[in-house]
Amino acid sequence: MICEKHSGRMADWTTDAALGRLRPTQEAELLAHAGECDACREAYRHAREVAAAVDRGVEALVSGELSPFFAARLRARVAAERVNPRSNWIVWAPVAAGVLAAGALLLIVMIRSPQQVTPSAALVAAPTIPSNPLGVAKTLHALVPARDSLQGAASASTRYAKGSRTSGTEILVPPGQLAAAIQLRDAVYRGHVDGEQLAAAETQIAKPLEVQPIEITPLESSDADSAGNEPTRF
């Protein structure tokens, strides 16, 4: 039996009504019509059955439990991941790069340091030195302990990387750098940072400095002029 009056529209409405998305006014019209029309009443009933069957069918597709070995297998893979982290070096590369960059910077500072030559020679050999030598000295004073701490951390890191985490190993922690030192130590201990590379950086830092001797021509004495007159003293 076919409903001639509402064949097209009612077909859509029955589906929408079965899925619970028909507007109330339209649903009322559909139900009123279905009360009089056997074809539309049957279509509505069929649509509801199909909608329910669809839900049951999809639910059946996604129902199921994991095998009892799933958790054990996953834990084993996670444990393997902990022991041999995959591409964690990428995460820690910036830290290592920072350490190496700091080492290179310290090397440059140490090479150019005025402490390597006598003060009088420094004035002659480095005429472009800042007008505030006291400030430079302060900067160097701040950097030298940092270099020592890096060496300490690197050597300690090497030992940690080899598997010994003894309480006897000491690291020099600069003021305010405790969190960073702990982070570096644990990264090395967990194998996230290659201790051998840090050790290599340490040898770069510890390389003896090569200071080229500077020949200084003696200045002419200004204590007495050519006429033998003594300079005026105040």
Partner 1 sequence: MAGVWLNGTEMDALSASLPGSVVSLDASLEREFEQRLTDCPTLAYRVALGVLRNTAEAEDVAQEAMLRAYRNFHRLRDRERFRGWLVRTAWRLALDRIRAAGRRERRERAAMEEGCESRVENVAASWEFERHVARALDELPEKLRIVMVLAAIEGYNTREVANLLDIPEGTVKSRLFLARKQLAESLR
Return the range that interacts with partner 1 (CB under 8 A); candidates 63-71, 118-126, 195-203, 213-221: 63-71
Q: Is 163 in the site for partner 1 (CB under 8 A)?
A: no
| Residue 5 or 165 having the CB closest to partner 1 | 165
Q: Is 23 a binder of partner 1 (CB under 8 A)?
A: no
Q: Tell me which residue has tokens 């510890």.
A: 206
Closest CB 54 distance from partner 1, rounded Å: 5
Q: How many CB atoms lie within 10 A of CB 189?
A: 18
Cα 202 to the center of its chain, rounded Å: 23
Gyration radius from the chain CA atoms: 42
Q: What angle do CA 81, 86, 92 make, to 5 degrees?
A: 115
Rounded Cα gap, residues 144 and 115, in angstroms: 12
Residues with Cβ within 8 Å of residue 183, at least 6 apart in sequence: 95
Long-range CB contacts for residues 134-139, cutoff 8 Å, separation at least 24: none
Q: By CB under 8 A, tell whether 172 contacts partner 1.
A: yes
Residue tagged 């350490």 (tokens): 99
Looking at 53-61, 98-106, 114-122, 128-136, which segment touches partner 1 (CB under 8 A)?
53-61
Q: Which of 84, 131, 166, 226 binds partner 1 (CB under 8 A)?
A: 166
CB of 187 to partner 1, least distance (A): 8
Shortest spacing between CB 159 and partner 1, in angstroms: 10
Q: What is d(CA 139, CA 115) in angstroms, rounded to the nearest whole number? A: 12
User: From the CB of 196, what's the least distance to partner 1, in Å?
Assistant: 20
Which residues contact partner 1 by CB under 8 A?
Answer: 15-16, 18-19, 21, 46-47, 50-51, 53-55, 57-67, 70-71, 73-75, 77-78, 81, 86, 142, 145, 148-149, 152, 165-175, 177-179, 181-183, 185-187
